[in-house]
Structure 1
């Protein structure tokens, strides 16, 4: 009883004669008592429903849902389970946090915006060469993404814990264009700072344009990226560097491995040179034995393994047989997520034996054509749940912006129609059908 509690708290309580100490009528006639009681009952009337709303966070083996006042994440209807991604006991948490011998130069300790998750963003092809219209747009903007990439997309790129794009050109003032190649790209080294304004943390260099101006331009690229603090994967001074995963160990106890490789060009003597034991180049994977080995090694180190791969046929939304066949091999080796680039247009999203495969991210900000594109946001939860969100965007007129309204609905429906193996909800979250 309220007066029992008040009297006891004041030191008035006498088990047998408490009424001798307290004049009930006088007590309830005091203004401060009335104010206290009104406040107390208002708190009860308002506080309990609010607590129930905040308590509407349901966590099960199959889904994550958040209540009305979720402070960070949107309602997430589906969450697949990531084998070996969960940090559920002391032993696995310790193994994930270990930096293994040989990984020291490739491992980064990072903080996360949320203590229960880590978010990873992916976007497709970018170009900063100001000899082309889109590169000139960045130059006219003052070597910044502001005004070239839409603000809501920039906020998403900057908001994720790890952001990755396909860097389809070298940074250099030197070298010579590859003889006989129709399109050769090269951007000034100082333009690498544009990546910082985009919120980019790591770029993929395993593609068919990283070597457009030869060996020296590729080496200059490594220096330019190092100078602005952006990690790179898929190329290196030798095959060990080019094929080595980049690891991110999060402050909340998760490990992510990103491996980047290219099938392109698909011939015996490609213009884009493969790294060897003693020469620089990219990590080529037409023969994927080394790629599969690197995947298995990363999984053994308790990492969530992402393969960022350059593959497919340009300018078609249809996947080809090499994508189909190699995706199965990559999954069997232990990859948790496959992200593809190269076709310059979007291709389907699918699941291969339970593993999500984004076959092509398309152009992100690469030319002036009007094309559908996207950002992929992957949210890894500490217990192993994984959410993947497709964020529709439009590349048009040397800019890229997030799709809204009717454009959003059309773009979402377009991806759903080309991806019969998935469900995609109104917020862009995907799950296997």
Structure 2
């Protein structure tokens, strides 16, 4: 073979290699430019009109708009993260990108996102999408198989418009796309009235469908009411429900996304709290058992009187008149408490009887349904007006309360386990309510010490309601203080006083709260500002601490309401200045007292 022939073959081979190289280069350049064009097109859509879909079944996600202000470092965890629940507070915005980055080390194949559908959509439906999500970091794909399986079985509506500009999607998707681009997404947005039965069944189905390495995330919104102190009170209850997977709480009622998240974590057996963020704005869960901690909630009011001018107002304006303002839903105080109590300053006697007393009260039994309507379930009867209609009237009152399902305790002139004590079991904890009176005749201290020491071995908590002190005095006297200290030394956990018709100071003695007088709740003493102010006390018991929330009240013509923010601040500044708190701090509208 000649050198000329070999040279020609070599040249042809080089030419072929060159052609292949140029073809591959052109294809690669085209692919890169096509990808750049697609990304640029998606970004243009995001910038120009985030409400329009891309033409390929994709949902544009609005960029978060800011990097975390305070980059967050998560602590090491003893187990993999299986779920996270977040508020939309700034701390969560700083923390969630760190969470997504941490999650990248687990390589979850599927991430479930739960959120609210928003008020523009049906509140009885749940929505899913099998569209992919376009983000500033690239495309994040939906898991179409799981989405189709759950949507078919539960008739979940595929409505992609629900997911456009959705708060949860804009919050969660970008960091996931940045740090977990290979994860597939199952997103469910829920109407506020989607049924709990359906949520439980949906949780079971999702647990069956999800790979074992899946992670579930959800938003949560803590309750907000007109009154900030009530909001904090109800938030503490909501946090307990989160930590302990308490599904049966009446108020604040769980939102569907929170309920579904907890049900799903229960199905996946991932109920152990691995992390709780500042202000409890974030929770992370891993494999393990839930906390077994109970919480008991009580709200106690002062003197409740339904005769004289109060009865006249009720006659003119209806039975709901005295409580129509304070019981409005946005006030948030009258629903969901284990105990809603007051001092009943008079009997629900069947008839009015002649009496030598200059001031003698009798309440119409027809008013009892109004009290049950507002969820009152416990009254103290140990006071100087319970016998105004005689012993027969007192017994009639107890009968009428019992027939309405309202519990009671205490009897004037008596200190005994039979007459003075009511024991109620709540969440497997026994609470002894003890009612005594020190106004008609001074009580015998030794009798109380004996009673309390006897009860201490039988119950978990002892709460005393006592009628005592001097009317219209806003500072307790030495006898009140002596009695309160004696009761606590003998085993009482809390002392709540009434009778002065004005609010007196509080004291924390040996880590036990004393309220010397809650003042009037519903009354007709219009002659002074002080007699038209009162205090309600919210109490949360969890076995570790006693949370005490004072709620200042105001009354106009026997119609009671919570004080507004400015009124509450002025009232509490004065109240705290004369109280003995033993170094305990009033923070976030309450005292946290170690048991």
TM-score, normalization by structure 1: 0.67
Other-structure match for 1:343: 500
Deviations 1:80-125 (A, max 9, x none): xxxxxxxxxxxxxxxxxxxxxxxxxxxxxxxxxx973010110000
Following superposition of structure 1 onto structure 2, how do residues 158-307 of structure 1 map, counting pairs within 5 Å? 158-174=335-351, 176-179=353-356, 181-235=357-411, 240=416, 243-250=419-426, 252-266=427-441, 286-307=443-464
Is the Cα contact below 8 Å between 2:142 and 2:184 reproduced in 1? Answer: no
Other-structure match for 1:122: 300
153, 156, 166: which one aligns with 2:333: 156
CA distance in 2 between partners of 1:140 and 1:155 (Å): 27
Following superposition of structure 1 onto structure 2, how do residues 367-386 of structure 1 map, counting pairs within 5 Å? 367=524, 369=526, 370=529, 371-381=532-542, 383-386=543-546
Deviation at 1:410, TM superposition (A): 1.2
Following superposition of structure 1 onto structure 2, how do residues 318-337 of structure 1 map, counting pairs within 5 Å? 318-337=475-494
Determine which structure has the larger helix proportion and give its number.
2
Deviations 1:213-257 (A, max 9, x none): 21221111111111211111002998656534211112x321111
Following superposition of structure 1 onto structure 2, how do residues 103-118 of structure 1 map, counting pairs within 5 Å? 116-118=294-296
Is the Cα contact below 8 Å between 1:123 and 1:364 reproduced in 2? Answer: yes
CA distance in 1 between partners of 2:108 and 2:491 (Å): 62
Deviations 1:167-201 (A, max 9, x none): 0011124353431x331111122222222123111
Other-structure match for 1:82: none
CA distance in 1 between partners of 2:354 and 2:585 (Å): 43
Structure 2: gaps (5+ residues): 1-103, 110-138, 144-179, 187-213, 221-231, 241-291
- Runs of 4 or more, structure 1, over 4 Å off, are 32-39, 47-51, 236-242
Is the Cα contact below 8 Å between 2:323 and 2:559 reproduced in 1? Answer: no
CA 1:299–1:35: 2 relative to 1, 3 Å = closer
CA distance in 1 between partners of 2:417 and 2:405 (Å): 17
CA distance in 1 between partners of 2:504 and 2:413 (Å): 32
Whether 2:578 is the aligned partner of 1:403: answer: no
Whether 2:594 is the aligned partner of 1:419: answer: no
CA distance in 2 between partners of 1:154 and 1:228 (Å): 25
Deviations 1:5-51 (A, max 9, x none): 98xxxxxxxxxxxxxxxxxxxxxxxxx996668572779xxx99968
CA RMSD of aligned residues (A): 3.7
CA distance in 1 between partners of 2:324 and 2:424 (Å): 30
Deviation at 1:404, TM superposition (A): 1.5
CA distance in 2 between partners of 1:48 and 1:124 (Å): 49
CA 1:160–1:372: 2 relative to 1, 3 Å = same
How many residue pairs get aligned? The number is 330
Deviates more, 1:368-377 or 1:163-172: 368-377
CA 1:148–1:135: 2 relative to 1, 3 Å = farther
Is the Cα contact below 8 Å between 2:432 and 2:459 reproduced in 1? Answer: no
CA distance in 1 between partners of 2:373 and 2:457 (Å): 35
CA distance in 1 between partners of 2:316 and 2:293 (Å): 39
Mark the structure with the bigger radius of gyration.
Answer: 2
Deviations 1:100-152 (A, max 9, x none): xxxxxxxxxxxxxx9730101100001112xx222233344432355264526
Structure 1: gaps (5+ residues): 7-31, 55-65, 75-113, 267-284
Whether 2:511 is the aligned partner of 1:354: answer: yes
CA distance in 2 between partners of 1:248 and 1:400 (Å): 28
Secondary structure of the structure 1 residue equivalent to 2:574:
helix
446, 451, 469: which one aligns with 1:312: 469
Is the Cα contact below 8 Å between 1:349 and 1:357 reproduced in 2? Answer: yes
Deviation at 1:322, TM superposition (A): 1.1
Whether 2:183 is the aligned partner of 1:40: answer: yes
Deviation at 1:417, TM superposition (A): 1.7
Deviates more, 1:235-244 or 1:300-309: 235-244
CA distance in 1 between partners of 2:533 and 2:558 (Å): 13
Deviation at 1:380, TM superposition (A): 0.5
Following superposition of structure 1 onto structure 2, how do residues 10-49 of structure 1 map, counting pairs within 5 Å? 38=181, 40=183
CA 1:426–1:403: 2 relative to 1, 3 Å = farther
Following superposition of structure 1 onto structure 2, how do residues 382-397 of structure 1 map, counting pairs within 5 Å? 383-397=543-557
Is the Cα contact below 8 Å between 1:154 and 1:199 reproduced in 2? Answer: no
Secondary structure of the structure 2 residue equivalent to 1:249:
strand
Other-structure match for 2:591: 430
